[in-house]
Amino acid sequence: METTSQRDERLWRIAKSRAQFKTSLIIYLLTNAFLWALWIITGGIRNGGVPWPIWPSLGWGLAIAYQYFNAWHRDPFGDTVREYEKLQEEKQRRGI
């Protein structure tokens, strides 16, 4: 079973990863807004074709999506804690 300090450390790491995600998302949105504005200002709409800002937007967007998943939907210690608790229960049942 987890001690209070271990639980607090785990929650601190989860909170830190979520805060880092929020910062990364803001930087991503501002940078992409700048890139798209630059593309529009330099006449990208008139030239046709595939707009060049799409590539950094897609690549960086995939990285942001991965960071989101890790921050909100994955507990890096949750699986380990559950396995440890199962082993503890098994140990108690056997009387070891």
Q: Does position 29 have pLDDT exceeding 90, yes or no? A: yes
Question: Structural domain tally of the chain?
Answer: 1
Contact present, 53 and 35 (Cβ < 8 Å): yes
Query: Taking 60 as the threshold, does the pLDDT of residue 92 lie above it?
Result: yes
Question: Is residue 91's pLDDT more than 90?
Answer: no
Q: What is the mean pLDDT of residues 37-45?
A: 87
26 lies in which domain range? 4-94
What pTM did the predictor assign? 0.68
Q: Could you tell me which residues come within 8 angstroms of residue 46 by beta carbon, excluding any fewer than 6 positions away?
A: none
φ, ψ of residue 87 in degrees (nearest 5): -65, -40
pLDDT of 20: 94
